[in-house]
Chain A
Amino acid sequence: KQEVTQIPAALSVPEGENLVLNCSFTDSAIYNLQWFRQDPGKGLTSLLLIQSSQREQTSGRLNASLDKSSGRSTLYIAASQPGDSATYLCALPAGGTSYGKLTFGQGTILTVHP
C-alpha cells in the first residue's frame, strides 16, 4: 500500500524567502505526482502534475521535482508572498495506475508573514 509523507507538517517564513516542501512515498512504481494547494475552508486547487518521465515541472514561481528511485518529490516556492499561505498537499495515483484514485499526504501548512 502506498504511503505518502510530507515534511514539515508546518512552516512559517518571512516574505521573500525561497522555500522547499517535501513529499516522500513508499512505492516508486508511479506514473505521476500531483501537488495541490488548499486555502482554509476551500477546495483543492491543482498546482502541478509531474509525470514520472519528467524530472521537473514549473509554473510561475513554483517548481516541482520528482525522483522516483528515491521516492521523493519537492515543491520549490521562490520569493514567497503572504498570498502563498495555505496548506500544500502532494498526491499520487494508487495501484500503479496513471489515472486512478489518489493517495494524499497529510499536507504542509505554510504561513508567509509580511
Chain B
Amino acid sequence: DAEITQSPRHKITETGRQVTLACHQTWNHNNMFWYRQDLGHGLRLIHYSYGVQDTNKGEVSDGYSVSRSNTEDLPLTLESAASSQTSVYFCASSPGRGTGNEQFFGPGTRLTVL
C-alpha cells in the first residue's frame, strides 16, 4: 500500500546542531508539505513543494530549509537548532493541481532541542 513515512520518529538534539528530518511518500504525489504542531498554536506550515525543484516558504519558515530533488522525498533541515524549534513535525502530501486534492499526513517526528 502507498504510504507516507517520517524518520526519525523521535529525536533529541542540542542547541546549535544541524538536524534533518526525513519524509518519504510512495503515492507519487506532486505536492508535499511540512507542518509543525504546538500547543496553543495548532498546525502551522513551514515549507511546501509543488514538484521537483520547487520549494516555497510557509508562515514559520525561519531557521528551516527544504530541497526537492525527486518526487518521493522532502527532507526538512534545521540549520542551527533552537529550543523554540522543539515541536512535533508532520509531513503531508497530496496529488497535485485540480480538485479532489485530499492531503495525507505522516505519523510525525517529535523533536526536542536541549
Contacts and interface: CB of A to CB of B under 8 A. Distances in A.
A43 B100 contact: no
A105 B97 CA distance: 23
- Chain A, interface size category, equals 20 to 34
B103 A102 contact: yes
Interface string A74-105: 00000000000000010101000111111011
Nearest to A48: B102
A42 B108 contact: yes
Contact of A104 (B31, B42, B95, B108): B42
B42 A107 contact: yes
State the main secondary structure of chain A at its contact with B: strand
Contacts of B103: 34, 46, 91, 102
B8 interface: no
B72 to A, nearest CB: 18
Interface residues of B, number: 25
Interface string B82-114: 000000001010111111111111111000000
Contacts of A93: 101
B107 A43 contact: yes
A47 to B, nearest CB: 10
Contacts of A36: 105
Contacts of B16: none
Contacts of A19: none
Contacts of B50: 99
Interface in A2-54: 31-32, 34, 36, 42-46, 49, 51
Given A42-B107, A104-B43, A106-B42, A98 B101 contact: yes
Contacts of B98: 98-99
Contacts of B96: 99
Nearest to B31: A99
Given A99-B31, A101-B33, A49 B43 contact: no
B97 A46 contact: no
Interface of B: 31, 33, 42-43, 45, 48, 50, 58, 90, 92, 94-108
Interface of A: 31-32, 34, 36, 42-46, 49, 51, 89, 91, 93, 97-102, 104-107
